[in-house]
Every structure is written in structure tokens, then in C-alpha cells.
A and B are shown apart, each in its own frame.
Chain A
Amino acid sequence: EIVLTQSPATLSLSPGERATLSCRASQSVSSYLAWYQQKPGQAPRLLIYDASNRATGISARFSGSGSGTDFTLTISSLEPEDVAVYYCQYRRTFGGGTKVEIK
């Protein structure tokens, strides 16, 4: 069973800063990795699929990269509305999440 490890657990940045979130798989998942954003009290929302493809309606501030075992979600310029927990997913496995906060 593949395990997805996300880091850091919490990321605290100022508005306008660049956020870099990591997801590492215990074995290769090729490019079949997705990223979701979950705001408090809401369902998750698909941001990125197949490692680097933005889902419909997702801001260009969000980008994904990586393949094999190492993946990155980047928020180019952090906005207050980006405060959320971000999860990576491969098939039926989710990572533990990274909480993004505003300083």
C-alpha cells in the first residue's frame, strides 16, 4: 500500500509570499497525483490532477509539479482566501495534509 507523506504539517506565511507544499509517495505513482484544498467547514475541492493539470476554474496562482515519488504544490502569491488544509491523493490514499496559515 502506498503511503503519502506531506510536509510541512503547517505553513505560516505573509500575504504575497510563495507557498511550497510537498507530497512524497512511498513508491512511484507516476504522474497520477491530485491535490485538494479544504477550507474550514467545507468539502475538499479539486485543485490539481495528474500532478500538474489545474482543475476547472482554479486560479493560475496554483501550480503542481513532480513525478514518481516527489510532488510539489505551489501557491505563487498567497492570499487570505488560501487559508486551508491541502491534501494530496493517489487513488484511494490521501496524505495527512498541510495547513496553510496567514501570518
Chain B
Amino acid sequence: EVQLVESGGGLVQPGGSLRLSCAASGFTLSSFWVSWVRQAPGKGPEWVANIAQDGSAENYVDSVKGRFTISRDNAKNSVYLQMNSLRAEDTAVYYCARVSGGYDVVDYWGQGTLVTVSS
């Protein structure tokens, strides 16, 4: 069974940092792109970043460029999102998502981890 389990969310002050982790199981992580998608309270999903199967390519939404870094360790079946210089508008549930095919379609989602940026 494909599973993606996020951890690392919590309450952080503006300007602070958090590192999210995504533990993958039930499939060969190294065969898939992985995305992070966030959803602010009451809003629709927003794509944040993705990373290629071997980590050779990364992409970010403009609003997080220079502040967030996506990475992966296929040997540990894990994907990470390092979030620095956090802002109130980064408050959201962050989902780890397995990408299927070439057009960013997500076929499996984690349960999400809540990040709250507030003083």
C-alpha cells in the first residue's frame, strides 16, 4: 500500500524555520517526482515545490523561492522541505504528494502536517 507520512509541522514565529519530512513506503520512491502542496485554511491547494527522481531538478513557486528548499534521500525513502524566513502567509497544511506522469498529476497524497506562523 502506498503511504506518505508527513511530520515536522507546528507553531513557529515569523522569521523562523521548520523542516518538514515525508516518509514514503509501499513503492519505489526513486522512480517518482515528489511535490509539496499546501492548503491555507479555507482555501484551495497551492503547489509549492517539486523534485526529480534523483534530486537533479527542483522547482518552486515564486512566493517561496530563496526561502524554501526541497530535498530527498531515496536511501531513507524520505523527502524534505526546509522552510526558512517563514511568514504568516505560509500558514497552511502541507501535503507531500507523489507525482504520476509528466504533468504534475498527484496520484497519492499524505495526510498533511499543519504549519502555523504566528507570534
- Closest partner residue, chain B, to A49 (CB atom): B105
A91-B106 CB under 8 A given contacts A43-B95, A43-B111: no
CB distance from A57 to the nearest CB of B (A): 11
Complex formed: what's the CA distance from A36 to B105 in Å? Answer: 10
Q: Which residues of B contact A56 (CB under 8 A)?
A: 107
Which residues of B line the A interface, CB within 8 A?
44-47, 59, 61, 95, 100-101, 103-112
A43-B61 CB under 8 A given contacts A91-B104, A94-B44, A94-B45: no
Contact at A34–B109, with CB atoms within 8 Å? no
Q: Which residues of A contact B112 (CB under 8 A)?
A: 43
Q: List 20 A-B contacts (CB under 8 A).
A: A34-B103, A34-B105, A34-B106, A36-B45, A43-B95, A43-B109, A43-B111, A44-B106, A46-B106, A85-B44, A89-B45, A89-B104, A89-B105, A90-B103, A91-B104, A92-B47, A94-B44, A94-B45, A95-B44, A97-B44
Q: Per a CB cutoff under 8 Å, which of A43, A55, A85, A93 touches B47?
A: A93
Which residues of A line the B interface, CB within 8 A?
32, 34, 36, 43-46, 49, 55-56, 85, 87, 89-97
Complex formed: what's the CA distance from A56 to B108 in Å? Answer: 11
Contact at A91–B103, with CB atoms within 8 Å? yes
Interface pairs A-B: 9 shortest CB-CB = A43-B109, A92-B47, A32-B103, A91-B104, A34-B105, A94-B45, A49-B105, A97-B44, A94-B44
Q: Which residues of A contact B104 (CB under 8 A)?
A: 89, 91-92
Q: Per a CB cutoff under 8 Å, which of A44, A49, A85, A91 touches B109?
A: A44
Q: Which residues of B contact A55 (CB under 8 A)?
A: 107
CB distance from B115 to the nearest CB of A (A): 15
Apart from A56-B107, A89-B45, A92-B61, list 16 A-B contacts with CB within 8 A.
A32-B103, A43-B112, A44-B95, A44-B106, A46-B106, A49-B100, A49-B101, A49-B105, A87-B45, A89-B105, A91-B104, A92-B104, A94-B46, A95-B44, A96-B44, A97-B44
